[in-house]
Amino acid sequence: MSGGLQTVPDARGHFGIFGGRFVPETLIPALDELEQEYRKAQQDPDFQRQFHYYLRHYVGRPTPVTFAERLSEYLGGARIYLKREDLCHTGAHKINNTLGQILLAKRMNKRRIIAETGAGQHGVATATVCARFGFECEVYMGEEDVHRQALNVFRMKLLGAKVIPVTSGTRTLKDATSEAIRDWVTNVRTTHYIIGSVVGPHPYPMIVRDFQSVIGQESRQQMLEMTGKLPDVVLACVGGGSNAMGIFYPFLEDPVRLIGVEAAGRGLHTGEHAATLVTGRPGVLHGAASYLLQDEHGQVKPTHSISAGLDYPGVGPEHSYLKETGRAEYVTATDEEALQALQVLARMEGIIAALETAHAVAHAIKIAPTMPKDSTILINLSGRGDKDVDIVSRALGGGL
Amino acid sequence: MSRISERFSTLRQRGEGALVVFVTAGDPNPELSEKLVLSIAEAGADIIEVGIPFSDPLADGPTIQSSTFRALQQGVTPASTLEMIARVRSQSEVPLVVMTYFNPVWQMGVARFAQQAAGAGVDGVIMTDMPPDEAGEWHPVARQHRLDTIFLIAPTSTPERMRLVAQMSSGFVYCVSRTGVTGAREHLPEEVPQMLQAMRQLTELPLCVGFGISRPEHVQAVCRIADGAVVGSAVVSLIAQEMEKGERAVLSAVHRFVKELKEATRAR
């Protein structure tokens, strides 16, 4: 590639002014070790072979791209394609990363795994690979999320993981992440922390992006095969931003619009949202400099989204960089719009998407009608919605 | 010479270790917090670390998380903390160190923060989540304003890391006694002497040990091998515990405890 967008981060983990390692000294040697091991693994054909073997035979890759024929007709503009990460084992893209990281943990001989989770999808994906490869697994989850994602809590327990409810702060993903970092600082010699998104201190944003970029690599090829050209727009929801980074990355040097959709919650004007890139400003949280929802004194603000996976005040540093450079655009969808989109997709295509994913679908519903009929939109359908049916039914005023 | 360095040279002459005490600014309330800092100085603390609360203190255990939360509830900000420090400074020559996380400093603006901190009478700054690798902007600005830059080493630090910390630090080096977060503990970890020995070979700077130091006997043991001991959570939890009995109870309990801790630095 000729451009510079795929050459970040630099040697010290910076994406422009973003990224870096803002963590206690105790963790720096572990981050160095992880980075060294990862760079070795990248060059190691055995590691690559193993990773791709399990992606194919365990995760179920490649996932298909589905032409959303009825939805496209209904919207009357661009043709919409769905990258079906909901068909991955465990029901979301998260396992692409947990698989890669468990193989790294094995190389580093760390037998205990910890993770944070919001919606529970990353927790389930971590518990799954821990079960498959025989690792001890503890997952930190905000108490509020433990309640609203009860199904995933039970799945993690079935998989043999211990779920630790976090009662500090806002009791959501932000505090689960802080607590996981505290555990890691304490047990760093024996424990690998599998971060679930493109956030955290270097090298995590790079590693998670690379493991997730299989989504973009496959779908770029699939779109060329199915439509004879690249998509005009690639859409993905953004909480921490791993599914978006995974699908964006292989398209960075292409003439393709990349749009990330953040959670506008009850509306940007209400202040109850999680639209970090759209309304925040640069700050430092959980080990990296990136856009952050914070008050004038640098205190992190509480967030709201109907989707637990997007309910996070930070975002991956590379997204901040893509925003600053203008390479990607970031927009929002409200709780209401996501709920609508979830129903539209279910009825038109027979696919029940996760509430996170529904934010990306909601934006497609807004822009597709304004685009020419020969244009195409590729949506990263990052996860399936089984975990959300209870929340959706309550939001729509019914019981199960 | 900075107030911090002066204090260490005085202590060295006297053959004492330094007692470094941490409190969260504004805890349990802004007015009492200011009185507490003065009382802690009066009781014999050699250096006082004043914590600027940050909403997401990921290096802190439950005790300091709670004090942080109490302070934020009271509306404590970086600016109000520096104002408090300025008032303390007008009444005391005790070396004062600000301890915080990078974000509140970054949001104020690194240069503006350094200028205001120096103007308020702050002598040094510790940012728990800023290793020297990320201090490229901070370090020269702090030096320009004669603020000591105090970095941390941990039991996991490699010799290269220790060398970097030695190069970038002034005032003293904060030696984290164990892998983990802040909080009172029963016992001192065994790996501390080794870490101190390694660091001694790389720097002349005083070495202070913190994290888990909660009793006079811990302070005494630490001062045998280090230049000072940092006590944080034990003081902060005493403040919380005595608060039900009223302000005077808090002040006298903390004063008594700090005096005991200081005594222990003389018994090495």
Q: What is the pLDDT of residues B114-150, one digit of tens each?
A: 999 999 999 999 999 999 999 999 999 999 999 999 9
Lowest mean pLDDT among A9-23, B8-22, B142-156, B185-199: B185-199
Is A168 a catalytic site residue? no
pLDDT for position A126: 98
CA distance linking residue A91 with residue A148, whole number of Å: 18
Q: Kindly name the residue from B16, B27, B34, B60 that is annotated as catalytic.
A: B60
The answer to whether B56 contacts A189, with C-beta atoms less than 8 Å apart, is no
Terminal Cα-to-Cα distance of chain A (whole angstroms):
51
Are A288 and B131 within 8 A, CB to CB? no
- The region that residue B212 occupies, defined by phi over 0 for left and psi between -120 and 50 for alpha, beta otherwise, is left
The chain-wide mean pLDDT, for chain B, equals 97
* Pairwise CA distance, residues A198 & A286, whole Å: 11
For residue A378, the cross-strand partners are A81, A234
pLDDT for A1: 39
Average confidence (pLDDT) per 10 residues, chain A, 400 residues: 73 97 97 97 98 98 98 98 98 98 97 95 98 98 91 96 94 94 96 98 98 98 98 98 98 98 98 98 98 98 94 97 98 98 98 98 98 98 94 84
Instruction: Give me the helices (H) in chain A, please.
Output: 28-43, 45-54, 69-75, 94-108, 121-133, 143-148, 150-158, 173-187, 204-212, 214-227, 242-248, 276-279, 317-325, 335-349, 355-367, 389-395
- Give me the half-sphere count of Cα atoms (radius 13 Å) on the Cβ side of residue B48: 30
Specify the pLDDT at position A169.
Answer: 85
Whether residue A182 lies within 8 A of chain B, CB to CB, comes out as yes
Mutate which of A14, A23, A25, A300 to disrupt the B interface (most B C-beta within 10 Å)?
Answer: A25
Rounded to 5 degrees, what are φ and ψ at A302? Answer: -65, 150
Answer whether B131 sits within 8 Å of A21, measured CB to CB.
yes
Would you call B60 a catalytic residue per the annotation?
yes
Among residues A35, A174, A382, A387, which one is catalytic?
A382
Query: Hey, which CATH number is domain B3-263, 2.60.120.10, 3.30.2310.20, 1.10.287.1060, 3.20.20.70?
Result: 3.20.20.70
Tell me the C-alpha distance between A179 and A153, whole Å.
Answer: 17
Q: How far apart are CA B85 and CA A155, in angstroms?
A: 51
Whether B129 sits inside 8 A of A26 (CB atoms) is no
**pLDDT for res A400:** 58
Beta bridge partners of A283: A290
Give which of A255, A251, A241, A253 is closest to A330, Cα–Cα.
Answer: A241
B256: which residues sit within 8 A by CB, 6+ positions away?
A: B43
φ, ψ at A301 (rounded to 5°): -85, 150
Q: Could you tell me if A282 and A323 are in contact, meaning their C-beta atoms sit under 8 angstroms apart? A: no
Chain B partners within 8 Å of A185 (Cβ): 58-59, 179-181
Residue A306 tokens, joined? 């109907």
Which among A83, A94, A110, A323 is annotated as catalytic?
A: A94
> What phi and psi, each to the nearest 5 degrees, are found at residue B262?
-65, -40
Helices (H), A256-383: 276-279, 317-325, 335-349, 355-367
Side-chain-side CA neighbours of residue A55 (13 Å) = 22
The distance of B69 to chain A (nearest Cα, Å) reads 9
Q: Chain B closest CA to A284's CA: distance in Å?
A: 5
| A383: DSSP letter | B
Give the chain A residue whose CA is nearest to the CA of B165: A25
Q: What is the pLDDT of residues B35-56, one digit of tens each?
A: 999 999 999 999 999 999 999 9
| Buried/exposed code over B178-210 (b: 16+ C-beta within 10 A; e: otherwise) | bbbbbbbbeebbeebeebbeebeebbebbbbbb
Strand order in the sheet with A281-285: A14-15, A18-22, A287-292, A281-285
CA-angle at A352, arms to A63 and A199, nearest 5°:
65
- The whole-angstrom separation of Cα B16 and Cα B20 is 12
Task: Decide if B152 and A24 are in contact by the 8 Å CB cutoff.
Answer: yes
| CB pair distance less than 8 Å for A185 and B153 | no
